Structure 1
Amino acid sequence: MNRTATARTPFDRLQPFAPSLSKRRALAPLLAALVLAGCATAPVELPAVPTPARFKEALPASQTATEGRWTEAAVAEAQPRGEWWKAFQDPVLDALVAQAGEANTSLQQAAARVRQARALLRNAEADRSPQLGLVGGATRQRGLDRNQSTQPSTLLNAGISASWELDLFGRLSRLQDAAALDAQGREALLQSTRLMVQAEVAQTYLALRAADEERALVRDGVAAYRDTLRLTQRREQAGDVAALDVARMQAEVSANESEALALDRQRAELEHALAVLVGRAPADFGIGVDRWQTALPVVPAGVPSTVLLRRPDVAAAQAAVLAAQARVGAAQAAYFPDIALTAGGGFASPELGDLFKWSVRSWGVGALLSLPLLDGGRRAAGVAQAAGVFDEAAAGYRAQSLIAFREVEDQLSGLRLLKEQASAQATAVEAAARAMQLSDTRYRNGYISQLDLLDARRSELRNRRQALQVRSAQYQATVALVRALGGGWGGSPVAAAPSSSTTAATDMAAAALVKKDGS
């Protein structure tokens, strides 16, 4: 079948046939030839997405030695994506993710949508199958000829009927394909929701553990301030300092207690959020305070092309494109006749007592052909609407692919810069801890003022908290990178030790502070 060679839109490339009115009025043999030539829909071409050879923000291979220890999962949107959260080596996190997989309401909603899509697929499959049913009825009738004096008569009938629509032009098969692709898309979205829930559980839990650690830091700071307050009060009683120094130190104690209470509130909110994620009421859920000992895994980025294979949301967008293309073909098939085979058999009698006698049996077979000639542009509008849906789905696929690349680049750059920030912050923590030790000794011996001591203590606490916040951001970015990559690794990922340089520095400072408290 000859068509224009140029294609201005994706829809133009997908048109398997678009007969003009003159062709529909041609002779039957010519029309049949055209139909047979155009029955097969041209294979769809997914929209082109610019895919770089490597991620711009990825570290060189020499800096990611653990990359070879990971194995990328095969594409299987409807299958589990791998237990990636176990790379953090935290049994509490493992248990929370398992609970969320069973009771999270977002997952339950997504699973219900999958069941709906599968039911619609079965409905589309049923439309292509022969239909069989029972029929029965009663008719009361009388002729309208005035010259006849016939009385009204009654006709009773009962039997079975069968019909089958011959899908010669592919309308029903394309609708079935579209329904199957819709179901695949829903399954991919279910996996996307599962990955989202897993990531949210991990990020919320890690934020809670970071809050525990920061609360401990602030509480240690409060204890240190109280120790200094007691020392200042003794010096005031001895006449060495003024009451102003005592009031200033009391203000620092109260301010840090307020910070600790704010962190208590933050932790409570994170605990409540975890309760909802695992499908529990906040009143019936709790996680005890514990040290932050979760490992920090190193996640390889792979190459950009594999992201389009691993991410279930991209797979769902692809299924939407293919489903829209199938519906374009179904809309085009409306230009050709619907042909159905029908059959029926049963009994018909004017008397109920004679209805099922063998002598009143009847049967019939036939074929029904339906082809609208004038529809006011309804079929053309249907094709245009289907083409618009296809264009929208194609743009959505391109957008989702580009968003996937952006999210990976964001997290890669974040992890790279956070690593540098953690190193710089570790140096700052060590320097601040040393300055605090010297200031405390000099203050106790009367060599510096209280303001100098307070400045040193504030600097130490501020740097320790910033180090913890950087560490927390590294964990959050790692989970976000796993989510951006679509999860789905096999094997055993290599995780960094829980005590990074930043953690070691903060632990050293904490030990020094405890030593001062006990002096």
Structure 2
Amino acid sequence: MTTYLRSVLVPALLAGLLAGCAVGPDYQRPSVEIPKTFKEATLSPEAAQRWKDAQPSDAMKRGKWWTIFKDAKLDALEDQALKANQNLKAAAARVAQARALQRGASSERMPQVDAGFGVTRQRASNVSQGLPAGAPNPPVTAWRAQAGVSYEADLFGRVAATVDGATADAQQSEALFRSVQLALQADVAQTYFLIRELDSEQALYRGTVDLRGKSLNLVEHRYAQGDIGELDVARAKSELAAARSESMGIARQRLVAEHALAVLLGEPPADFKLPPHTLDRVAVRIPAGLPSSLLERRPDIAAAERAMAAANARIGAARAAFFPRLSLTGALGYESSELGDLFQWSSRTFLLGPLVGTMLSLPIFDGGRRQAGVDFARAHYKEEVAAYRQTVLGAFRDVEDGLSSLRILGEQTDMQDAAVKSAARAARLSQIQYREGSVSYLDVIDADRVVLQQQRAAVQLDGDRARTVVQLIRAIGGGWGA
């Protein structure tokens, strides 16, 4: 074995021995304070544990959770949004970008091979050749065809840490895609229920306009007979005009919501039309499970956790900059002054080791640049830890908000139904008394207005309840079936 080959192979063997000497910190997910149960949860511990055992992890499919509402139109809209929404397509493109970067980082584990072919014509100066100033020095033509190989031995885990960071980035991007997907599904459902709520309000106002039109005819008839004064006629006309005006306001709100839904579906608002349909009362009860299940299910929590893993890996990459780097390089090919002689055996050439510089480099002094890189990586990791814990806290709050809202909305709906019944009875009695002449028309107007207000409040509660169910499903990370 020649001395030169020993100088090449010995560092390579050292590289193999030191390959496991990674300097990066081992990643462990930071602890977070998790309550044993949600304050608003009504599940027994046994039932909650069974529900948690059935939980898919973050990477598993949630299924079409919106089908629990048993609304075929909503099912079709959700499917369309998942196919055509532009924000979701952009998120998918970001996943592809992250995966490409991961493959690029992983390529550093493998040797890099390249090949080249070309010609150079050069005339070196007489001084560089050690010739007198007037000595003949003709130019030289060199034809070259060669292949080069380079490989960095990962002595202290720099390449491995870089690959780990890129892998965690790709996983974070995938979790963010699922977060965008879940948000899109929830937005479509909530906007749909808002439109249905407005349809129900519009139906109420259509009935109110029809009723007040008939009341106006009755008042005008009684006025013509001289039973009442013109004041009742003016009041009846005012109430009819007010009902028509409020109906137009609801129509405007519905158009705005319909346009928003069209954008979620990836359609121009001018090309989208959702036929009106009243809102059916939602009676779906969503179990909350255990708080610890959120760490497995919420895609935003998964994304925050992967961001921590990436930041931790980059601490190792920054630390590795303090240690030696071993780069193995070589070239093999042909070189001649004539193209016809290029591939002759006598024209062969090879190079083991770098053409410029050294094979093994060790940093000594850089003015603190490498230490600054380590400090930056550590500070970035601390930032991601804080963001992760804040995301977990926000997830707990979202679930508690949804559970408490559903509980209160259920109680409020029961009371509102009773209020609607009482207002409707009071309105019927006022109309009878008005015909008998025992009350004024102002009492009839007030009673009708109260009925409309209570009915509208009941419809709005139904809409709030439907949207709150959707929000709770989103808060727990999607549906609970694959």
When normalised by structure 2's length, the TM-score is: 0.90
Structure 1 unaligned segments of length 5 or more: list them: 1-27, 492-519
2:8 aligned partner: none
Quote the Cα distance in structure 2 between the aligned partners of 1:256 and 1:211.
Answer: 15
Distance 1:441 1:468 in 2: 27
Contact 1:153 1:350 in 2 (8 A): no
Structure 1 285/67 Cα, relative in aligned 2: closer, same or farther at 3 Å? Answer: farther
Structure 2 Cα separation of the partners of residues 61 and 434 of structure 1: 42
Cα distance in 1 for residues equivalent to 2:199 and 2:107: 57
**182-191 vs 372-381, which moves further:** 372-381
Q: Does the alignment pair 1:281 with 2:234?
A: no
How far, CA to CA, are the matches of 1:393 and 1:285 in structure 2?
A: 42
Letter in 1 for 2:122: R
Map of 1:285-296 to 2, 5 A cutoff? 285-293=272-280, 295-296=282-283
Secondary structure of the 1:345 match is strand
Output the CA distance in 2 between the equivalents of 1:69 and 1:179.
35
Aligned partners of 1:67 and 1:300 also within 8 Å: no
Aligned to 2:197: 210
**Secondary structure of 1:100's match?**
helix
The offset of 1:43, in angstroms, is 2.5
Shift of 1:66: 11
1:481 to 458, 472, 479: 472
Deviations 1:200-256 (Å, cap 9, x if unpaired)?
000000111111111101111111111111111111111111111100110000001
CA drift of 1:263 comes to 0.8
1:134 is matched with which residue: 104, 107, 115? 115
Change (3 A) 1:303 1:182: same
1:409 corresponding residue in structure 2 = 400
Alignment-derived partner of residue 6 in structure 2: none
SS at the partner of 2:147? Answer: strand
SS in 2 for 1:219: helix
Q: Write the distance in 1 (CA, Å) between the matches of 2:98 and 2:274.
A: 38
Q: Tell me the residue number matched to 1:365.
A: 352
* Alpha-carbon displacement from aligned partner over 1:246-302 (angstroms, at most 9, x marks no partner): 001100000010111111111111111111111011111111112323643211011
Listed as ranges, the matches of 1:108-507 within 5 Å are: 108-137=89-118, 138=120, 140-142=122-124, 143-144=126-127, 145-147=130-132, 149-154=135-140, 155-293=142-280, 295-366=282-353, 368-490=359-481
Deviation at residue 35 of structure 1 after TM alignment: 7.0
User: How big is the shift at 1:319?
Assistant: 0.2
1:57 aligns with 2:43: no
Letter in 2 for 1:51: I
Q: CA deviation at 1:38?
A: 5.3
How far 1:438 moved relative to its partner?
Answer: 0.8
Deviation, 1:126, is 1.1
Give the equivalent residue in structure 2 for 1:94: 75
Output the amino acid matched with 1:424.
Answer: M
User: Residues 294 and 114 (structure 1 numbering): CA distance in 2 closer, same or farther, change over 3 Å?
Assistant: farther
> C-alpha distance in 2, partners of 1:466/1:362?
89
Q: How far, CA to CA, are the matches of 1:235 and 1:103 in structure 2?
A: 59
The structure 1 residue matched to 2:57, chosen from 75, 78, 98, is 75
Match of 1:13 in 2: none
The question of whether the paired residues in 1 share the 8 Å contact of 2:24 and 2:319 is answered with no
Contact kept? 2:22, 2:158, Cα under 8 Å: no
Letter in 1 for 2:385: A
What's the secondary structure of 1:296's corresponding residue? coil
Per-residue CA deviations over 1:140-171 (Å, capped at 9, x if unaligned) read 14241343724144233221111111112110
RMSD: 2.4
Q: Percent identity?
A: 45
